Every structure is written in C-alpha cells, then in structure tokens.
Amino acid sequence: MLTERQDLILKSIIEEYIKTASPVGSKRIQEVLSIEVSSATIRNESALLEDQGYLEKAHTSSGRVPSTKGYRYYVDNLMESNNIDDIKLQIDEIFKKRGATIDEVCSKISSILSEMTKLATVVATSDTNDEVLLSKVELVPISDRSAIVIFVLSNGTIQNKTVNLDSVSLEELRLSIDLFNERLINSKISEIETKSQAMIPVLKQQVKKYEFVLQTLVGALIHTDSNKSKTSGVKYLLENPEFNDPNKIKDIIQFIENASPFAWFNYQSKTNKTTVAIGLETGNENDDIAVIGTNFPTKGGGKGALALVGPKRIEYDKVSKLLEWISKKIEEKFLLEGE
C-alpha cells in the first residue's frame, strides 16, 4: 500500500487528468492538494509513484499521467462518491412513464448516459438459456491469418466466430478449444461464463494472450439468438482526445461490436454492484480502453447488462454509483413492481 501522502497525490493527479486529459505537473498538483506540500516533495513522491508503476511520464511535457495500475488502485482504494443528482433527475423521469418496456427504458437511458458522459453505452438483455447445453467446439483454419471457431449447441443451433490469427496463434487457439471441449462440454450456456473462470490457471500456462482468447470465445458462445444488444453514443465517445488516431477509432469500434457485455463481467444475479475493467483487463490488446458496467435480472430468469466504454480517463466514481442506481431502478420497475 501507498502512504497517505502518496494516496493524496495520486488521487489528485488522476482526478485532474480525468477532467483535462492533459498531463499533470507538480505546480497543478500543489494547487489542488488538500494538504500543504512543497513542489519538491510532490516531484519526489511523483517519481516514486512512477517507479512503482502508478504513473507514467508524458512524452511532451514535464507532467505525468495515470497508468492502468494507477487507475486500478484508484478504483479499488481512493474513489469517492460523486454528485450525480442532475443525471438521476433526467433518468428518473424515464422510470415514471408507465407501459414502457425494459428495452425502451434501457434505450432512452443509454442515450442520456452517452451524451452526458461522452462514452459509448452498450445494453444487452438475454433470455434464459437454462435448457441449452454446449455439445461441441470445433476449429476450422481458413487462411494464414484467420480461423473459424464453431460452437454446436444441444438445441441444434450452431454459432460461428472468426478469430484473427494476428492476435493469437493457431496452436494456442487449438489448445484453448481442446480445453473448452475437456472442461465445458454438456455445460448449460447459462453456466459457461462462471465455469470458464475456473479454466484461467490452466489456460494462462498454455496461452500467452489467454484473456483475449477467453473473452473472444465466451463472448461468442453466450451471444446467442436469444440475446439482444444495442450500442449508443459512439459519436460522443469519439469526441475524447484519446481517439483522435484513426487506428484507435477502428480498434475501439471493433471492440464494441465484437464483444458481449456478458463476457466483460461475471454475472451475479444477486448483486447490483458495478464492475470495472481497465486496459488489458478488458481482454482487448489496446491498453487505452476501459469498461464499467452493471447487471440486472430480467423477467423469466433472464439477465441484462449495461456497460459504458471509453478511454481509461473515465469518471469512475460518478459512473459506478450511477450504474448501480440504474440497475436497482430497473429491478424495482420490472421485477418487484411486476410491470
């Protein structure tokens, strides 16, 4: 753990960077800190935080920016609740309207969230798959650069997923699929996500980019015809300076299109807590991306997920509390009230 002073300095740098998207120098840190600290001390502490991997030195200035490790420490240890009353008032009006379906409510909420946070919103709902089992997984190479993974389900449904071999080798993919066939055959689709987590220690030993493989395969498998997914606010997302690079724009759009929110987070039907995936934790090779989301149960034993996707410079405190509140409101309206 860090010292109390290091906590304050790291917290100040992260929150200032979230607001400005600009590297933070020692002078600005001194201005926003709640304690009296000399600029020399700030520079020394910042250097120590950089050495420990919590901060990164900006190439074009003397300021520093948070690293993925720094953001993770902030989310786990330093984050405080932020004022979200204005957004709550707007969203609360949506819940007051009678007769609206869960899809209509989530669609309107998504639009408001994207506009006010400058993040892309992905909402997905899935009917229960309790009776459908995974029967078989097959790998079909189609070129030097791609292969198709085929999932055969007990109800006769066949799911296909094309995998880019620039991201993972054919041999690693084959090893992963062998493990799927060994560990997950005859498992319920609704249990695949949870069971796949138990495979991580073995998969990690054999596959270098095991997170990417796991997210890709599980995301494709649980993204069946009974799932509905909608993305909003990509235009707002692209206003963030992190995505001025055309290659980064392409990467994050592909990430949103190809992944399922159910693959980003472990679904737990008895909790409305938010989950945060930062950088490589998302299973994507681009370390600049972060996802924050929540889940909620739906009628008939189904499930839903609401996620915001953007740069690592997300207002984690504000967004996490807001999503947690929205999840509870959805459950109250569509399950407890029986609407």
Model pLDDT, residue 264: 65
Model pLDDT, residue 79: 85
Model pLDDT, residue 140: 92
Closest among 176, 315, 167, 133 to 240, alpha carbons compared: 315
Model pLDDT, residue 108: 92
SS3 for 200-256 is: HHHHHHHCCCHHHHHHHHHHHHHCCCCEEEEEECHHHHCCCHHHCCHHHHHHHHHHH
- By three-state DSSP, how is residue 197 classified? helix
The domains located in the chain, with CATH, are 4-78 (1.10.10.10), 85-127+226-336 (3.30.450.40), 134-190+210-221 (no CATH)
Model pLDDT, residue 267: 44
Each residue's pLDDT tens digit in the chain (339 positions)?
799 999 999 999 999 999 888 899 888 998 888 788 888 899 999 999 999 999 998 765 678 999 999 999 999 998 876 678 888 888 999 988 888 888 889 889 999 999 988 999 998 877 655 567 889 999 999 888 889 999 888 877 777 888 888 878 999 999 999 999 999 999 888 788 888 888 889 888 888 888 888 888 887 776 654 567 788 999 999 888 888 888 888 888 888 877 666 666 654 444 557 889 898 888 777 788 899 998 887 766 677 889 999 999 999 988 999 999 999 998 888 876 554
Query: End-to-end distance of the chain based on CA atoms, in angstroms?
Result: 47
Model pLDDT, residue 260: 65
199-207 contact pairs (CB < 8 A, 24+): 203/176, 203/179, 206/172, 206/175, 206/176, 206/179, 207/168, 207/172, 207/175, 207/176
